[in-house]
Amino acid sequence: MSGGVGPTAGGGITLPSMGAPPPPLHPTPTSPTARPHHHYYLFSIKQLNTLGAAAVLAFSTTVPLSDVAFAVLLLPYLLLLARLAFPQRPGKPNPAAPVFPGAGGRLTLAVHTAVGFVVGAALPALYILDGLRAGDTAGVAAAAPHAFLLSAQVFTEGIAAAWPGTFSLPVRAAVPVMYSARRMFAASEWLREELQERDDLGRGPPVPQRRVVAGRALAAANLAFWGFNLFAFLLPFYLPRALRRYYLGSDHEDDGGAHAHLKQQQQPQDEGKKDS
């Protein structure tokens, strides 16, 4: 017998030996490439709500086909990135680990996420529902593309988070970057349509003044917030840090640790040059 397992007297059935414990039914995910059971995340209430909102907006004819095609084609593009450009291999950092470790970084990111939810999701949803009640079809059509892109982003981020063994950290970081860039165009178009529709009083039924102010304020706030999110946070800080962690090492490696890691790799090369 070998490995603690062998045939019994009855033939075909094998039993583990008394000295070795039986193997676990599900291996413990100790490496970034382990496949834990995260698929339930796709069927959480948050994921189902965002998928339902995106589907309703997509079939309501208020979202341009270009935005729907962007959300649909982004999924196979992320798979290509995960397979060809940034594969999740053994030794790569865990993509589920926070990009900004520490209490201060987590608190700042939580506040930033909460503000983004209120400005980008909660208030526009109330504005769209109020527009449906008031019959403001122009205001609903102007705000719908932005709401659709944000719902599609949340669902796509959930797909990437459900398979950490497939989607590496740079691929997951690319999702908010690409959606934020696309949403900048949607927010600017939203503001332009709000200004035109509200200034031209001859178009459609009269709109209450509160919706005029709310529509312009929401469009301007979303344009400003997501512009700041893209150009002042994602591009200069979040994406470079994700790439640095992916190429240089561990999950909690700071800038000093990254430089030390590079020095350790360069020392054998320098010693070889001196010996020669």
**pTM for this entry:** 0.73
Assigned domain for 262 exists: no
Assigned domain for 78 exists: yes
Reported as a pLDDT band with limits 50, 70 and 90, residue 198 is low
Name the DSSP letter for residue 41: G
**Tens-place pLDDT, residues 53-93:** 999 999 988 999 999 999 999 999 999 999 999 998 888 88
Assigned domain for 220 exists: yes
- Position 250 scores a pLDDT of 54
- Position 115 scores a pLDDT of 94
Task: Quote the number of domains for the chain.
Answer: 1
Q: What percent of the chain clears pLDDT 90, i.e. is strictly above it?
A: 48
Domain that holds residue 194: 45-90+100-249
Q: Output phi, psi for 138, to 5 deg.
A: -65, -40
| Rounded Cα–Cα distance for residues 73 and 152 (Å) | 12
- Position 98 scores a pLDDT of 77
Average pLDDT over residues 213-241: 95
Reported as a pLDDT band with limits 50, 70 and 90, residue 4 is very low
Q: Output phi, psi for 251, to 5 deg.
A: -70, -35
| Rounded Cα–Cα distance for residues 121 and 116 (Å) | 7
Assigned domain for 35 exists: no
Tell me, what amino acid is at 102? G
Nearest-Å Rg of the Cα atoms of the chain is: 25
Assigned domain for 261 exists: no
- pLDDT over 90 (residue 186): yes
- pLDDT over 80 (residue 267): no
- Position 39 scores a pLDDT of 43
| Greatest pairwise CA separation for the chain in angstroms | 93
CA–CA–CA angle 51, 241, 227 (5° rounding) = 55
- pLDDT over 50 (residue 237): yes
Name the DSSP letter for residue 25: S
Average pLDDT across the chain, whole number: 79
**Residue 21 in tokens:** 């414990």
- pLDDT over 90 (residue 175): yes
Name the DSSP letter for residue 84: I
- Position 105 scores a pLDDT of 76
- pLDDT over 80 (residue 162): yes
> What letters, b where the CB count within 10 A reaches 16 and e where it falls short, cover 206-240?
ebeeebbebbeebbebbbebbeebbeebbeeebbe
Assigned domain for 150 exists: yes
Cross-strand pairs, 248: none
**Tens-place pLDDT, residues 23-54:** 444 444 433 333 444 444 556 787 788 889 99
Reported as a pLDDT band with limits 50, 70 and 90, residue 150 is very high
Contacts for 140 with CB less than 8 Å, ≥ 6 apart: 62, 128, 131, 132
Distances (CA, A) of 166 to 32, 60, 73, 103, 238: 9, 33, 18, 28, 20
- pLDDT over 70 (residue 263): no
| Rounded Cα–Cα distance for residues 204 and 209 (Å) | 15
